[in-house]
């Protein structure tokens, strides 16, 4: 499905956009309300890039490193091992070896013991060091997965026990886009994760999200204690499942299944700003993710459009920027962007709708 180009004049500027008040991300009475505009740390303190990585993404170290920042949640990826343990890891496959001989395993085919044998080890006195971690880029290039500050791979239970209890969890349930899943397999994964969450969450704010439409439906069917968000790239890529190919389909899925909201790639929203109104009219909440969320001007524009929050990699910079224009107690303050910054933003949005 091709994206409909929106004339540049239809894109709201910072002077034209009308503010829509955001909803709270909370659902149940035992879940504290976050700030009215949520900043969410992507895989903790940001995803590891090809060029550099300060600390291991999706690790206890990364999670706790942002706990003192003015953010609402951290987002991380959860899969379930062969022996039924929810673990935190983004990629579908885990790689080891060296650049001449690469060995890869599907993460969900590993036992917990096998999974934890990769990378840095908990016991520094262990006789055996962990298997070196490699990673494959989207283009297929394999590289050494090296970080400045390493930390062991971890389980979801460890995160509940070791991460600051005031920090909310956005738990993304990961499924391979290239596989078809039977209902019973999706249900088994969801039940394993929810069982652990319900036992360990306590008063910690928790929301669930997933790109898998049927998994989102099942998460809502299994529990009503925590909000469920449907992840979508909003048509930037075409999938075999039509429900994943537009914001319109995402709204339909959420309404039909009683989900709380949508997490969209930010470019899809900027290309189709009218969808924000439709999403709000459907009484849904809207978060965004993507590289553009690491630009303060783009984040501010979304705040003014009524979007409820952003998932970011530059967690410290973006959380401080949001605090600057929303205030510690929710008081609005217009940021002092330079004319050059505003010009950049308008040019950026104009380019997006032409792509």
CATH of the domain at 204: 3.20.20.190
Q: Which pLDDT belongs to residue 347?
A: 73
Question: Given pLDDT bands bounded at 50, 70 and 90, which one contains residue 7?
Answer: very low
CB-CB contact of 103 with 96 (8 Å): yes
pLDDT digits (tens, 9 = 90+) for 145-180: 999 999 999 999 999 999 999 999 999 999 999 999
Q: Which pLDDT belongs to residue 60?
A: 98
Total count of domains within the chain: 1
Inside any domain, residue 123: yes
Beta-carbon contacts of 5 under 8 Å, excluding residues fewer than 6 positions away, are 271, 353, 354
Q: In angstroms, rounded to a whole number, what is the distance separating the alpha carbons of residues 44 and 290? A: 15
Question: Given pLDDT bands bounded at 50, 70 and 90, which one contains residue 226?
Answer: very high
Inside any domain, residue 4: no
Q: What is the average per-residue pLDDT within 104-128?
A: 89
Inside any domain, residue 6: no
Inside any domain, residue 142: yes
Q: Which pLDDT belongs to residue 15?
A: 43
At residue 214, φ and ψ (nearest 5 deg) are: -70, -35
Nearest Cα to Cα of residue 207 among 19, 33, 11, 14: 33
Q: Which pLDDT belongs to residue 335?
A: 56
The pTM (predicted TM-score) of the whole model is: 0.87
Q: Which pLDDT belongs to residue 2?
A: 38
Q: Which pLDDT belongs to residue 21?
A: 37
pLDDT digits (tens, 9 = 90+) for 53-99: 899 999 999 999 999 999 999 999 999 999 999 999 999 999 999 87
**Parent domain of 177:** 38-354
pLDDT digits (tens, 9 = 90+) for 292-333: 999 998 999 899 889 999 999 999 999 999 998 876 555 555
Give me the residues paired with residue 78 across strands: 88, 173
Inside any domain, residue 21: no
Tokens in use for 246?
């537009």
Q: What is the average per-residue pLDDT within 285-290?
A: 98
The region of weakest confidence among 111-120, 138-147, 157-166 is: 138-147
Q: Which pLDDT belongs to residue 99?
A: 75
Beta-carbon contacts of 212 under 8 Å, excluding residues fewer than 6 positions away, are 173, 175, 181, 186
Q: Which helix (H) or strand (E) holds 219?
A: helix 213-222
Share of the chain above pLDDT 70, in %: 80
Q: What is the average per-residue pLDDT within 29-33?
A: 40
User: Helix crossing, 339-354 with 296-305: angle to 10°?
Assistant: 70
Inside any domain, residue 24: no
Share of the chain above pLDDT 90, in %: 72
Question: Given pLDDT bands bounded at 50, 70 and 90, which one contains residue 100?
Answer: confident
Q: Which pLDDT belongs to residue 145?
A: 95
């Amino acid at each position: 499905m091709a994206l409909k180009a929106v004339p540049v004049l239809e894109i709201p500027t910072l002077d034209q956009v009308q503010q829509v008040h955001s909803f709270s991300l909370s659902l149940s009475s035992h879940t504290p309300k976050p700030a009215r505009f949520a900043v969410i740390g992507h895989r903790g303190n940001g995803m590891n890039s090809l060029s550099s990585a300060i600390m291991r993404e999706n690790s206890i170290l990364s999670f706790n490193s942002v706990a003192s920042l003015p953010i609402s949640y951290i987002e991380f990826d959860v899969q379930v091992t062969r022996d039924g343990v929810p673990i935190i890891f983004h990629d579908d496959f885990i790689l080891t070896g060296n650049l001449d001989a690469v060995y890869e395993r599907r993460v969900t085919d590993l036992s917990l013991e096998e999974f934890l044998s990769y990378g840095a080890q908990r016991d520094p006195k262990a006789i055996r060091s962990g298997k070196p971690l490699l990673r494959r880029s989207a283009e297929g290039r394999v590289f050494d997965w090296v970080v400045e500050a390493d930390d062991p791979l971890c389980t979801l239970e460890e995160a509940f026990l070791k991460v600051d209890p005031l920090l909310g969890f956005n738990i993304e349930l990961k499924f391979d886009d290239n596989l078809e899943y039977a209902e019973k397999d999706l249900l088994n994964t969801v039940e394993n994760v929810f069982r652990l969450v319900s036992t360990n969450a306590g008063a910690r704010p928790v929301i669930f999200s997933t790109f898998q439409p049927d998994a989102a439906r099942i998460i809502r069917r299994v529990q009503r204690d925590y909000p469920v968000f449907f992840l979508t790239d909003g048509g930037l890529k075409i999938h075999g499942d039509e429900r994943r190919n537009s914001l319109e389909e995402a709204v339909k899925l959420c309404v039909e299944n009683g989900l709380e909201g949508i997490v969209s790639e930010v470019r899809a929203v900027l290309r189709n700003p009218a969808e924000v109104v439709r999403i709000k009219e459907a009484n849904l909440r809207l978060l965004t993710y993507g590289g553009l969320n690491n630009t303060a001007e783009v984040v501010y524009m979304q705040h003014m459009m009524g979007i409820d929050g952003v998932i970011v990699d530059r967690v410290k910079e973006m959380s401080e920027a949001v605090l600057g224009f929303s205030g510690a107690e929710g008081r609005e303050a217009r940021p002092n962007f330079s004319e050059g910054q505003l010009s950049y933003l308008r040019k950026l949005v104009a380019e997006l709708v032409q792509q």
